[in-house]
């Protein structure tokens, strides 16, 4: 199922995330250079680029975990510190310790901790939010299962459920497609469509050009700076992909799907 909108989002739509003149990095090494972009409310946008292009750094800046050197980023027109409860982050699955002895419901409840405050235990409202989020992603029957027993697709849906339990309006997802088979990818894309229909905004860092090309509303092509932004068919051109990846990027249509293949000179 596709989650592409049939029409370009109108220019009057306010931005869930916007940045201008954004510079950021580590020590004296710049990871982002004069970045400028906007993500419309209620859209699913792919953040794509080669390894080391600054995708994770950009997510950290949006989250307020990394302070930019200069420039500014706003979330729903305000600083992230003012709207932190409306922003949720799902990490790369490989960064999670899947052998840790917690259940699916335990992890989803973690999305409520920011609202609980110190020393306050989860109450009926929190448990209801967890149950609602699990039902939303189709994991209600697995709430008591150990997280290490989940499939790759179930793991990703659990991480999204944790974000939903937070009642977030903006979801930042870091490489959610990694390790998923085609069936699990389709399940996740169906969930993205459902969330967008509920007014959520998703910014998805991914290497999967195929999913972005087929299903997302827009793409941000990043390599330290924004090389291009817009609808995937406008961004995923041979010229722009070569500029971003520093290599020949070939777009291969195979059995109705579009695959990006790149290789370096030499």
Q: Which tens digits make up the pLDDT trace of 218-265?
A: 999 999 999 999 999 999 988 898 899 886 565 555 455 555 655 544
Residue 261 has what pLDDT? 59
**Is it the case that residue 39 has pLDDT exceeding 80?**
yes
Dihedral sign for Cα 80, 81, 86, 88, please: positive
Span 73-100, average pLDDT? 88
Residue 90 has what pLDDT? 87
* Phi, psi dihedral angles at 230 (to 5 degrees): 150, -165
* pLDDT tens for each residue of 170-228: 999 998 888 788 888 888 898 899 899 999 999 999 988 988 998 999 999 999 999 99
Span 28-39, average pLDDT? 95
Task: Report DSSP letters for the chain, one per residue.
Answer: -----SSPPPTTSPEEEEEEEEEEEETTEEEEEEEEEEEETT-EEEEE--TTSSHHHHHHHHHTSS--SEEEEEETTB-GGGSGGGEEEE--GGGS-TTSS-BHHHHHHGGGHHHH-TTPPP-HHHHHHHHHHHHHTT-GGGTTSBGGGS-HHHHHHHHHHHHHHTT-SEEEEESTTTT--HHHHHHHHHHHHHHHHTT-EEEEE-S-HHHHHHH-SEEEEEESEEEEEESHHHH--HHHHHHHHSSEEEEEEETTEEEEEEE---
Domain ranges of the chain: 15-95+169-263
The percent of residues in the chain predicted with pLDDT above 90, rounded, is 51
Residue 38 has what pLDDT? 95
Contact between 161 and 173 (Cβ < 8 Å): no
Residue 186 has what pLDDT? 87
Fold classified for 15-95+169-263: Rossmann fold (3.40.50)
Span 93-117, average pLDDT? 83
Report the chain's mean pLDDT, rounded to a whole number. 85
* pLDDT tens for each residue of 49-64: 998 999 999 999 999 9
């Amino acid at each position: 199922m596709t989650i592409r909108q049939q029409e370009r989002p109108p220019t009057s739509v306010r931005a869930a995330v916007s940045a201008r003149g954004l510079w950021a990095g580590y020590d004296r090494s710049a990871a982002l250079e004069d970045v400028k972009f906007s993500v419309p409310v209620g859209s699913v946008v792919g953040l794509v680029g080669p390894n080391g292009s600054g995708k994770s750094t950009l997510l950290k800046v949006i989250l307020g975990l990394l302070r930019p050197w200069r420039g500014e980023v706003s979330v729903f027109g305000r600083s992230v510190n003012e709207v932190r409860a409306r922003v949720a982050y799902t990490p790369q699955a490989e960064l999670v310790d899947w052998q840790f002895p917690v259940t699916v419901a335990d992890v989803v409840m973690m999305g409520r901790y920011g609202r609980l405050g110190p020393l306050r235990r989860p109450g009926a409202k929190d448990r209801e939010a967890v149950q609602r989020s699990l039902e939303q992603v189709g994991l209600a029957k697995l709430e008591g299962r150990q997280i290490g027993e989940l499939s790759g697709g179930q793991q990703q849906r659990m991480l999204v459920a944790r974000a939903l339990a937070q009642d977030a309006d903006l979801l930042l997802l870091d490489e959610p497609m990694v390790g998923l088979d085609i069936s699990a990818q389709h399940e996740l894309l169906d969930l993205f469509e459902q969330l967008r229909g509920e007014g959520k905004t998703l910014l998805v860092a991914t290497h999967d050009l195929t999913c972005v090309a087929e299903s997302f509303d827009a793409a941000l092509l990043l390599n330290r700076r924004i090389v291009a932004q817009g609808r995937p068919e406008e961004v995923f051109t041979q010229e722009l992909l070569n500029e971003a990846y520093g290599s020949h990027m070939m777009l291969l249509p195979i059995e109705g799907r579009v695959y990006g293949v790149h290789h370096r000179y030499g």
